[in-house]
Amino acid sequence: HNYPIIISENSELQVLNKTHMPPLGILKAKNIKHSSLILNNNDKLFLYTDGLTESMNNKEELFTTGALLELLTKNAKLN
């Protein structure tokens, strides 16, 4: 249920926040929304769960979505 992120060839991030639903299997969905997009040849699609952004360090500080976006920006050129 976290928004996917596109990392473009020029290292720009785009959070895909157009369609949002509860996680599959949690509620009986009557009308599931869908959307589509076209990725360019060198774009990367980053998918993750809240287990990533809600993980904690030894000081019990959350690894937030903001920290994730910063990490992806710094490492956008990696495969």
The two structure tokens encoding residue 67: 């920290």
- Which pLDDT score is estimated for 52? 95
Question: pLDDT digit string (tens) for 27-42?
Answer: 776 777 777 889 999 9
The two structure tokens encoding residue 8: 């473009």
Tell me the pTM.
Answer: 0.80
- Which pLDDT score is estimated for 20? 66
Label residue 21 by pLDDT band (50, 70, 90): low
Cα separation of 19 and 11, whole Å? 23
Question: pLDDT digit string (tens) for 55-78?
Answer: 999 999 999 999 999 999 999 998
Cα separation of 17 and 1, whole Å? 10
Decide: 5 and 15 in contact? Cβ < 8 Å.
yes
Chain-centre distance for alpha carbon 68: 9
